[in-house]
Amino acid sequence: MFADRERLVEELQQIEDAGLWKQERLITGPQGVRINTEDGEVLNFCANNYLGLSSHPAILEAAHAALDSHGFGLSSVRFICGTQDIHKQLEARISKFLSTEDTILYTSCFDANGGLFETFLGPEDAVISDELNHASIIDGIRLCKAKRHRYSHADMSDLQRCLTDASDARTRMVVTDGVFSMHGDLAPLDEISALCEEHRAVLVVDDSHSTGFIGKTGRGTAEHFGVQDRVDIITSTLGKALGGASGGFTTGRREMIALLRQRSRPYLFSNTLAPAITAAGIRVLDLIDEEPERVERSQSNTLRFRQGMTRAGFAITPGIHPIVPIMIHDERKTMEM
């Protein structure tokens, strides 16, 4: 018998008593602005379907076609017999879209971040992370043996301090979310990239919440700040604006991507991305270029929603991102809402 069962029951009760119990709501149809649930049709304000492409007919058509032409799955990791032509096509398409040298696909951005730091950093190196970075970055850093430094959220003076404190490291790697998913604020990449150049540090940006819709043409946070050529590595996802299914990627300097193919454990020991998702990802990127008004509409809708919520008397955090935190100041009421 499991000896710690009582402890687990106690922990579960503590979560429920604190009003933090996560309840999964069942959706009985496809993702969209309006979704069908067990309680009827509702307006959906909480998905990361930023461009409305999760159930777009062209995306579904591409996925259906790939099922017929490339099958359901590969039953293999990439380097054995799990690489199809469409995987290389998607990697090339992402590189073209983001103006980078090369790209490597993962089954999720969590895996992309999980396999990043241990590939490049050892005990003689240092990794410097924003205190509000995503859980996948935090877990990825835990897997590497580099010295760890954490700077106060978006505080450039504190980042400068960390870079100075780590001046004796062989490699200094600064990592930040491009957009912080709990707050909707953008990392000041213009200032961060300038500090990285000054200190000869590598800059890594997780752009999961901006790829496809932030920046003039949807190229992400680096485009928004005009520093696309000053970011060494971008990790991101196909699971939000880019179709919303699953899949992640790392893109950037050619030599760095090549080393990830040789040593990144989530890449080497996980099955390849499903053909339907891969083909849909290619079509999504084509659609963004073919229909630039989607990016413009997302940005104008965000402004309209922010202004409307403010007029309605809600306390929201300022910004330009579709993630709009509504401050309730009560855990239980927040979970109920």
80-94, pLDDT tens digit by residue? 999 999 999 999 999
Number of CB atoms found within 10 A of residue 197's CB = 12
- Tell me the residue length of the chain: 337
Q: Which secondary-structure segment (H or E) carries 41?
A: strand 40-43
pLDDT tier, 48 (very low <50, low <70, confident <90, very high otherwise): very high
Q: Return the pLDDT at 331.
A: 74
Ordered DSSP codes for 110-173: HHHHHTTHHHH--TT-EEEEETT--HHHHHHHHTS-SEEEEE-TT-HHHHHHHHHHTTTSS-EE
Q: What is the mean pLDDT of residues 122-130?
A: 99
- Tell me if residue 326 falls in helix, strand or coil: strand
Tokens read off for 332? 């239980």
240 classed as catalytic = yes
Q: Return the pLDDT at 43.
A: 92
Tokens read off for 152? 């106060």
Over residues 289-331, the pLDDT tens digits come to: 999 999 999 999 999 999 999 999 988 888 999 999 988 877 7
CB 187 within 8 A of CB 210: no
**Residue 228 scores a pLDDT above 90:** yes
**Residue 332 scores a pLDDT above 80:** no
Number of CB atoms found within 10 A of residue 209's CB = 27
CA angle 296, 300, 153 (to 5 degrees): 95
Q: Return the pLDDT at 319.
A: 92
Residue ranges per structural domain of the chain: 57-289
Smallest CA-to-CA distance from 264 within 278, 275, 250, 254 is with: 250
Which of the following is catalytic: 55, 152, 181, 246? 181
**Residue 1 scores a pLDDT above 60:** no
Separation between Cα atoms, residue 237 and residue 179, nearest integer Å:
13
Which of the following is catalytic: 87, 240, 264, 321? 240
What are the strands, taking DSSP E only, across 145-272?
147-151, 172-177, 202-206, 233-237, 248-252
Q: What is the mean pLDDT of residues 168-176?
A: 99
% of the chain exceeding 90 in pLDDT = 88
CB 186 within 8 A of CB 319: yes
**Who has greater pLDDT, 31 or 156?**
156
Separation between Cα atoms, residue 207 and residue 227, nearest integer Å:
13
Q: Return the pLDDT at 2.
A: 67
Please tell me the pTM assigned to this model: 0.94
Q: What is the mean pLDDT of residues 54-76?
A: 97
Which of the following is catalytic: 134, 209, 224, 321? 209
181 classed as catalytic = yes
**Residue 144 scores a pLDDT above 70:** yes
Lowest-pLDDT range, 24-33, 224-233, 280-289? 24-33
Q: What is the mean pLDDT of residues 168-173?
A: 99
Separation between Cα atoms, residue 334 and residue 327, nearest integer Å:
9
Fold of 57-289: Aspartate Aminotransferase; domain 2 (3.40.640)
Q: What is the mean pLDDT of residues 144-158?
A: 99
Q: Return the pLDDT at 329.
A: 78
